[in-house]
Amino acid sequence: MMRAVGFILVPAALAGAGAAMLHRNGTSAPIAATSPAGARAADTPLTVEPTVVGMNLGGLEYYAGEWAFNDIVQTSATINFIEPNGSWKDPIGRIQFDPTGHPIHIPKTTLLSVMLQSGTVRIQTGSFACTIADGWDVYAFGDWKTKGSGKHFTMIVDKPIPTAGITMKLTATKDDATLSPLSCVQQGVDTSTPFNPVFLAEKRPYKVLRFMDWMQTNNAPKRIWAERPTPASFTQGGPNGVSMEYMVALANTTQSDPWFNMPFDVDPGYYEKFATYVRDHLDPKLKAYVEFSNEVWNDAFQQGKTATERGRELYPNVDPAMANDFYYADRVRDVMSVWTRVFSGQPKRLVRVLANQTWPERADRALAHKDTWRSVDALAVAPYFSTDPYTLPGTGAVRVNALFARAPEIVGNAINQAVAAKKVAHKYNLPMVAYEAGPGFVGYQKEIGEDMLAANRDPRIYDMYMTYLKRWQKEVGGLIVLFTSVGTPGPGGQYGHREYTGQPLSDAPKARAVNDFMAQLKQ
């Protein structure tokens, strides 16, 4: 993602090796033209592999529309402590939790709220069979109502357009109350799988599912194995992300290759235990894509800032970008060595990824550093098609029309970026894949953001997207993992192909373009 770092435009003239590439700081640097020993000769032709389409999964939050689980509490649930004056506060330090995140030892008369959905364009409707631990009174707050009472009751949500969302207000009716269990499972669905059937149907066509947002990768604190999320966690929508058990189960259910983003900092043994679980539980017919963190080049994220700081300590005589690339390459080799050892004898089940945005010289530098290219199986980049909205004339419909008038140029720039990255990967005898791709129309000022949101919803984006995908198929090829399956619309535009799970394709032109393209691929 490049949501917080502006726009990176690569003209067609920069696609060839040896050209200058504009950095984020406005300086330029030459793309290295030499080939390391053992790599492929630079003059060998590029190969356009068959196109394969994957998708990044939308994050699970109370304000998001990705309804992944049959149990609405597992999809997202945010607890607040309610003060006697009615104000809602962070519960940390005010109540106790067990290791799975369930409130425990709650005194009588304590007031809590559990926010399930709020701030979305739609809320999940239907009847949900709810179970709650003994010792609680439940009050329906927002756009739902209850039927029944006690430990078992029904949540009824019949208004899809939210006004106040879905929140439970809870009062402890005894001392030492615990909030385990708490679940609300949609009635009439197949409960042999934990996943929402509509969510599953939307994800099955994709050959790869990337779990970056599900793993809460960006800006994450140090991850501790004993504190990782599990299927027993209070919710999968918390700050620790979704359990690896559920991610592997989803991949097995959809028969999609999973793409895991390993945390930036972990306690000893974390990477090995994670890799071992994947090796032992992922369907042997599937491959695991493994990436260290996400966008470590991106100093809008804490992992990017930390990588630069640590890189400058290790490599004090180079510029910050180079220090970042060197540190990232060092960590990639370390993490991939663990996965390689765990998957010893099964290399075809593993795809080790080094990722960069769309700077060929930085990707080249990271791959070359201490022969890091020998430790990975693919170079991944993010060739979004986008434009700087501040260069578009007018406002409102005039600005949106101007964007679509530039469609050939915008798509062409993105394809040129992909081809330039492909040349770098080719030099190291590696395939190039896209870890993120698709439309990147955003604007962070309110007026421009509203116009970019209108562009994302405009029917004309269907043809623009189809042109991009067909040119990818013809000129680039290989795996393209789009970003993102579901995204909440806002003034900054949106990356989501749908705005909520189950949105009709007639209302989601980006998702319709991708589905039609996959149908043409017979994927």
Q: Which of 137, 158, 186 is the last residue of a domain?
A: 186
* Residue 158 belongs to domain with CATH number: 2.60.120
Which tens digits make up the pLDDT trace of 425-446? 999 999 999 999 999 999 988 9
Q: Which of 131, 153, 186 is the last residue of a domain?
A: 186
* Residue 205 belongs to domain with CATH number: 3.20.20.80
Q: Is the residue at 254 inside a domain?
A: yes
Which tens digits make up the pLDDT trace of 482-513? 999 999 888 776 899 999 999 999 999 999 99
Residues 240 and 374 occupy one common structural domain: yes
List 195's β-bridge partners, or say none.
Answer: 69
Residues 225 and 265 occupy one common structural domain: yes
Which tens digits make up the pLDDT trace of 8-50? 333 322 233 222 222 222 223 333 334 565 666 566 889 999 9
- Residue 139: CB atoms within 10 A of its CB come to 12
Which tens digits make up the pLDDT trace of 205-230? 999 999 999 999 999 999 999 999 99
Residue 16 CA to chain centroid, in angstroms?
30
Q: Which tokens in the block code for residue 380? A: 């991944």
**Could you report how far apart the first and last alpha carbons of the chain are, in Å?**
25
Q: What is the pLDDT of residue 40?
A: 62
Domain ranges, residue 385: 47-62+197-521
Q: Is the residue at 38 inside a domain?
A: no
Residues 319 and 242 occupy one common structural domain: yes
Residue 263 reports pLDDT greater than 60:
yes
Residues 181 and 277 occupy one common structural domain: no
396-408: average pLDDT:
98
User: Rounded CA gap, 57 and 435, in Å?
Assistant: 12
Residue 114 reports pLDDT greater than 50:
yes
**Residue 18 DSSP SS3:** coil
- Domain tally, the chain: 2
Residues 53 and 144 occupy one common structural domain: no
In a 10 Å sphere around its CB, with 0-12 CB exposed, 13-18 middle and 19+ buried, how is residue 393 labelled? exposed
CA atoms within 13 A on the CB side of 236: 28
Residues 248 and 101 occupy one common structural domain: no
Q: Is the residue at 218 inside a domain?
A: yes
User: Rounded CA gap, 431 and 347, in Å?
Assistant: 16
Q: Which of 186, 213, 232 is the last residue of a domain?
A: 186
Residues 136 and 279 occupy one common structural domain: no
Q: Please, what's the b/e burial string for 211-229 (b: 16 or more CB within 10 A of its CB; e: otherwise)?
A: bbbbbbbbebeebeeeebb
What torsion, rounded to 10 degrees, do the Cα atoms 167, 168, 171, 175 define? -110
Residues 231 and 164 occupy one common structural domain: no
Contact predicate 77/86, CB 8 Å: no
Residue 327 reports pLDDT greater than 90:
yes
